[in-house]
Chains A and B, each alone.
Chain A
Amino acid sequence: MKKFGRSTGFAVSTLVAAMSFAGMAQAGITDKDILADQMTTDDVVSNGLGPRGQRYSPLDKLNTETVKELRPVWSFSFGGEKQRGQESQPMVKDGVMYVTGSYSRVFAIDAKTGDELWEYNARLPDGIMPCCDVINRGVALYGDLVIFGTLDAKLVALNKDTGKVVWKKKVADYKEGYSLTAAPLVVKGKIITGVSGGEFGVVGKVEAYDAVTGDIVWTRPTVEGHMGYIWKDGKKVENGISGGKAGETWPGDLWKTGGAATWLGGTYDPETDLMFFGTGNPAPWNSHLRPGDNLFSSSRLAIDPDTGKIVWHFQTTPHDGWDFDGVNELISFDYEEGGKTVKAAATADRNGFFYVLNRENGDFIRGFPFVDKITWAEGLDDKGRPIFKEGGRPGNPADAKEGKKGESVVSAPSFLGGKNWMPMAYSQDTELFYVPSNEWAMDIWNEPVSYKKGAAYLGAGFTIRPMNEDYIGVLRAIDPKTGKEAWRYENYAPLWGGVLTTKGNLVFTGNPEGYLMAFDAKTGEMLYKFNTGSGIVGSPITWEDDGEQFVSVVSGWGGAVPLWGGEVAKRVKHLNQGGSVWTFKLPK
């Protein structure tokens, strides 16, 4: 009898396993799934909850009435000694969460229970050179692959069920200072990635790889003068020099080590079929060595996903001298004006200005400061180009005695920016952008420097300081049509985490003090907070399973602030590191 019972049980479990396997095989993620991500509430399969990156969810079970009842259902530890800088956005598909940890780790977790299904730990060489902590911002999903970039500048595709490596491609040489930290973007069956390393005089680029095989499709350098390539039938073919030719906006050979790293990845707008990638600071930081606009540094680029051609560009800080990377996300959105729909896109730049652009051609529609103080520019002209302020730029070391150290200036925002990498959110209901920003200034001065492969290439010294006694971080609700601030929330420590907004009239974000917070999207009233035990510098998500709405966020203090923090360090030095995912829902 016993024997009979056992064998029956075995047969049933085999059948269940077979069925669930077939189910998963069918559920491979397609381009269609990714394009529809914003409206399919039972999964999160793109960075930004939809390729436009609006970080808006139509879910409303959690709302201004119910959110106070929100409570954690599980917490998952990334483990080990590697507790720092968790800047990831989780993904959820078919009840499985895919999330990255610091030090190039990926975890697959049962989204209901928090049980680990598998983990992948990249074996990193000692020589990696991430400028701004050993972070990662998340995976891309395609077919049955989980794809992410490593700190030694490789793209790795893992099988979503086993975590085993399916393919791995070297995007760039980590010994030259390259690394990958952004979540890759998936567009039309291609994995699109940028590179980090602007502090080491690398040359920024955007590259497309076949999402299934990992074969390279095209590469597009983001510094004027470098040749782009496209692969046709396995052959590498010249595909036009970025910007036409070298030397137009750079002096001498400086374009060869021009920076413009594409370290934050990009967004995609299916309507215009354009990808929007931002570019970082020109190298070196000392701008007196490179008179000119230094294209395409500190810019937004619209790139054709099929060919890698630059369709238009908009430079937020020409001839940047303050480390005002132009990488911040450009979010596509439509609005009505004079009875017409405007196909716009908006971005809140490191330099303190908020820009609204025509996303079809890159034309400037309007721009305005979103921070309280800007010292380096008087404003923007009618093309959106900054009007530089006299004395706003650090002095030329060549003018100084002995040519050693140029005159120091106080500059706001600081090099960490009015807003840094942490993504803002756009609500289709309130038509407001929710911008995680910071009020801080810096002393900055320039020094002579020359390029050496794999070494920091700055030619600048700097220290960062708060501007207010009681806050640095400011979460702002900004009207893109008027530039008006609808409300603000001030935070003692600098804000460094992404934002999420929902149809439930809510805005979610986290702070370095460890709190996941929910605000009324219209009034800014804080309706909920929960301390996750370490600072939040990741981006929250929400999804639905079995009729219940879930919220997840990673917790783990780190990132650039504690590394580069100057006087700001005093405000954050008591914050403890961590590494975990927290998941919340309403009680049944």
Chain B
Amino acid sequence: MKLKQRLTAGTLSLLLAGPLMAAQPADPLDSVMWEYTRDIFIGNDDYRFDPDIQVDVPAFAEDPTQVPITIDARAHAGNIEKMVVWADLNPIQHVLNYYPGSGANPKVSLRIKVQQSTAVRAAVLTRDGLWHVGYAQLDAAGGGCTTPSMGNADPYWQSHLGEIQSRRFQSGQDDSARYKFRVIHPMDTGLVDAIPEFYLEQVEVRDAENQTVVRMELSPPVSENPVFTFDLKDQANEYHLWLRDNGGNEFEQAL
């Protein structure tokens, strides 16, 4: 019955959309928000659910304001246009766009806020125009997006805004290296009364020639005082980090 309904819906959208396309697969997580969020982030492009895109989430989000997640799309390394991460049931669904340049390994870890138990998606657009959607179900008690940031109770961030701590790790094989950074920022969602949205929007890793190696676009569901881990293919020392928030503040520091 369910399948039939889906097919009917699919047929209808096929008629409306005009050009012929393959039938789109159904959501393995059966999230009520799938169609809505797919439309926002993928549109009518072709996609498939892809177990090769690994989305790692904890079994339960102990702290819904700081949920560690890892996206590993190395199965498509070298072939990636961009990666879009979102959480279906967040009031602000979008979390992150990640553009790994040729010098980067397409694997990134960060912490996010979740409002309730939700599907977490990582849609990877490969150069052939196809979206590969990784996914995981995250259990959470909730409330992560509508509680005031800790910074709201403590003025520490006001005198330390944009301060960056970073480290480089040997990642084991070959020349590649893992970088981790933490930046002081309240990442306010704007959903708490009387606290305007205030969050880092752009993150870029640039090399000595100021060429962008990794680019990210963030949304307010990235956790307060964001922590990011990502892999670069070489250990060159000259990388530096450039960040800008929606208030127009820019921060820069060597990695």
Q: A81 with B193: in contact, given A165-B246, A165-B248 (CB under 8 Å)?
A: yes
In chain A, positions 119-169 with a C-beta closer than 8 Å to chain B are 121-123, 125-127, 156-157, 164-168
In chain A, positions 304-355 with a C-beta closer than 8 Å to chain B are none
Which residues on A sit within 8 Å (CB–CB) of B28? none
Contact across chains for B247 and A123 when beta carbons are under 8 A apart: yes
Contact across chains for B196 and A164 when beta carbons are under 8 A apart: no
In chain A, positions 29-43 with a C-beta closer than 8 Å to chain B are none
Contact across chains for B194 and A82 when beta carbons are under 8 A apart: yes
Q: A168 with B194: in contact, given A3-B15, A6-B16, A123-B188 (CB under 8 Å)?
A: no
Which residues on B sit within 8 Å (CB–CB) of A81? 193-194
Contact across chains for B246 and A164 when beta carbons are under 8 A apart: yes
**Distance of A80 Cα from B158 Cα, bound (Å):** 22
Q: A123 with B196: in contact, given A3-B15, A6-B16, A7-B18 (CB under 8 Å)?
A: yes
Q: Which residue in chain A gives the minimum CB-CB distance to B247?
A: A123
Which one of B155, B188, B196 lies within 8 Å of A125 (CB-CB)?
B155
Q: Which residue in chain A gives the minimum CB-CB distance to B154?
A: A126
B186 interfacial by beta-carbon distance below 8 Å: yes
Q: A127 with B18: in contact, given A168-B247, A168-B248 (CB under 8 Å)?
A: no
In chain A, positions 82-110 with a C-beta closer than 8 Å to chain B are 82, 105
Question: Which applies to chain A's interface (DSSP): helix, strand, loop or mixed?
Answer: mixed
Which residues on B sit within 8 Å (CB–CB) of A123? 186, 188, 195-198, 247
Which residues on B sit within 8 Å (CB–CB) of A156? 247-248
Contact across chains for A80 and B248 when beta carbons are under 8 A apart: no
Query: How far, in Å, is A322 (CB) from chain B's closest CB?
Result: 35
B178-195 interface bits toward A, Cβ cutoff 8 Å, 1 = contact, 0 = none? 000000001010100111
Which residues on A sit within 8 Å (CB–CB) of B195? 123
In chain B, positions 172-223 with a C-beta closer than 8 Å to chain A are 186, 188, 190, 193-198
**Distance of A428 Cα from B202 Cα, bound (Å):** 51
**Distance of A127 Cα from B154 Cα, bound (Å):** 12
Which residues on B sit within 8 Å (CB–CB) of A166? 248
Contact across chains for B247 and A127 when beta carbons are under 8 A apart: no
Which residues on A sit within 8 Å (CB–CB) of B248? 156-157, 165-168
Which residues on A sit within 8 Å (CB–CB) of B194? 80-82
**Distance of A157 Cα from B246 Cα, bound (Å):** 12
Query: How far, in Å, is B160 (CB) from chain A's closest CB?
Result: 11
Contact across chains for A122 and B155 when beta carbons are under 8 A apart: no
**Distance of A3 Cα from B18 Cα, bound (Å):** 8
Contact across chains for B193 and A80 when beta carbons are under 8 A apart: yes
Query: How far, in Å, is B244 (CB) from chain A's closest CB?
Result: 9
Q: Which residue in chain A gives the minimum CB-CB distance to B199?
A: A123
B227-254 interface bits toward A, Cβ cutoff 8 Å, 1 = contact, 0 = none? 0000000000000000000111100000
Q: Which residue in chain A gives the minimum CB-CB distance to B250?
A: A168
Which residues on A sit within 8 Å (CB–CB) of B198? 123
Which residues on B sit within 8 Å (CB–CB) of A127? 155, 158
**Distance of A7 Cα from B190 Cα, bound (Å):** 36
Which residues on A sit within 8 Å (CB–CB) of B247? 122-123, 156, 165, 168
Which one of A3, A121, A157, A168 lies within 8 Å of B196 (CB-CB)?
A121
Which residues on B sit within 8 Å (CB–CB) of A125? 155, 158
**Distance of A157 Cα from B248 Cα, bound (Å):** 9
**Distance of A457 Cα from B249 Cα, bound (Å):** 31
Contact across chains for A126 and B155 when beta carbons are under 8 A apart: yes
Residue among B155, B186, B197, B248 with the most chain A CB within 10 A?
Answer: B248
- The number of chain B residues touching the other chain, given as a range, is 10 to 19
Our count of residue pairs bridging A and B at CB distance below 8 angstroms stands at 41
In chain B, positions 1-23 with a C-beta closer than 8 Å to chain A are 15-16, 18
Q: Which residue in chain B gives the minimum CB-CB distance to A81?
A: B194
Residue among B186, B190, B196 with the most chain A CB within 10 A?
Answer: B196
Q: A122 with B18: in contact, given A164-B246, A168-B248, A168-B249 (CB under 8 Å)?
A: no
Query: How far, in Å, is A152 (CB) from chain B's closest CB?
Result: 9
Which residues on A sit within 8 Å (CB–CB) of B186? 123
Which one of B16, B158, B193, B249 lies within 8 Å of A3 (CB-CB)?
B16
Q: Which residue in chain A gives the minimum CB-CB distance to B155?
A: A126
Which residues on B sit within 8 Å (CB–CB) of A105? 196
Which residues on A sit within 8 Å (CB–CB) of B158? 125-127
**Distance of A495 Cα from B99 Cα, bound (Å):** 57
**Distance of A6 Cα from B16 Cα, bound (Å):** 8
Contact across chains for B197 and A121 when beta carbons are under 8 A apart: yes
**Distance of A344 Cα from B158 Cα, bound (Å):** 47
Which residues on A sit within 8 Å (CB–CB) of B16? 3, 6
**Distance of A123 Cα from B248 Cα, bound (Å):** 11
Query: How far, in Å, is A339 (CB) from chain B's closest CB?
Result: 55
Query: How far, in Å, is A79 (CB) from chain B's closest CB?
Result: 10
**Distance of A290 Cα from B190 Cα, bound (Å):** 48
Query: How far, in Å, is A577 (CB) from chain B's closest CB?
Result: 14
Query: How far, in Å, is A153 (CB) from chain B's closest CB?
Result: 13
Query: How far, in Å, is A570 (CB) from chain B's closest CB?
Result: 30
In chain B, positions 144-167 with a C-beta closer than 8 Å to chain A are 155, 158
**Distance of A167 Cα from B15 Cα, bound (Å):** 45
**Distance of A471 Cα from B155 Cα, bound (Å):** 44
**Distance of A240 Cα from B95 Cα, bound (Å):** 51
Query: How far, in Å, is B146 (CB) from chain A's closest CB?
Result: 16
Which residues on A sit within 8 Å (CB–CB) of B246? 164-165
**Distance of A123 Cα from B247 Cα, bound (Å):** 7
Query: How far, in Å, is A555 (CB) from chain B's closest CB?
Result: 20
Which residues on B sit within 8 Å (CB–CB) of A7? 18
Which residues on B sit within 8 Å (CB–CB) of A121? 190, 196-197
Query: How far, in Å, is B151 (CB) from chain A's closest CB?
Result: 10
Which residues on A sit within 8 Å (CB–CB) of B188? 123
Which residues on A sit within 8 Å (CB–CB) of B197? 121, 123
**Distance of A126 Cα from B196 Cα, bound (Å):** 13
A1-26 interface bits toward B, Cβ cutoff 8 Å, 1 = contact, 0 = none? 00100110000000000000000000
Which residues on B sit within 8 Å (CB–CB) of A167? 248
**Distance of A422 Cα from B188 Cα, bound (Å):** 35
Query: How far, in Å, is A511 (CB) from chain B's closest CB?
Result: 29
**Distance of A127 Cα from B159 Cα, bound (Å):** 10
Query: How far, in Å, is B210 (CB) from chain A's closest CB?
Result: 18
Query: How far, in Å, is B162 (CB) from chain A's closest CB?
Result: 13
Q: Which residue in chain A gives the minimum CB-CB distance to B249?
A: A168
**Distance of A3 Cα from B248 Cα, bound (Å):** 44
Q: Which residue in chain A gives the minimum CB-CB distance to B158?
A: A125
**Distance of A127 Cα from B186 Cα, bound (Å):** 16
**Distance of A528 Cα from B249 Cα, bound (Å):** 47
Query: How far, in Å, is B186 (CB) from chain A's closest CB?
Result: 7
Which residues on B sit within 8 Å (CB–CB) of A157? 248
Query: How far, in Å, is A277 (CB) from chain B's closest CB?
Result: 26
Query: How far, in Å, is B167 (CB) from chain A's closest CB?
Result: 28
Query: How far, in Å, is A216 (CB) from chain B's closest CB?
Result: 16
**Distance of A80 Cα from B249 Cα, bound (Å):** 24
**Distance of A561 Cα from B21 Cα, bound (Å):** 67
18 interchain pairs (CB within 8 A)? A3-B18, A7-B18, A80-B193, A121-B190, A121-B196, A122-B196, A122-B247, A123-B188, A123-B195, A123-B198, A126-B155, A126-B158, A156-B248, A157-B248, A165-B247, A166-B248, A168-B248, A168-B249
Binding site for B on A (CB under 8 A): 3, 6-7, 80-82, 105, 121-123, 125-127, 156-157, 164-168
Closest 10 A-B residue pairs measured CB to CB?
A: A121-B196, A168-B248, A165-B248, A123-B198, A125-B158, A81-B194, A126-B155, A123-B196, A123-B247, A3-B15
**5 new A-B contacts at CB < 8 Å, known A125-B155, A156-B247:** A81-B193, A122-B247, A164-B246, A166-B248, A167-B248
Binding site for A on B (CB under 8 A): 15-16, 18, 155, 158, 186, 188, 190, 193-198, 246-249
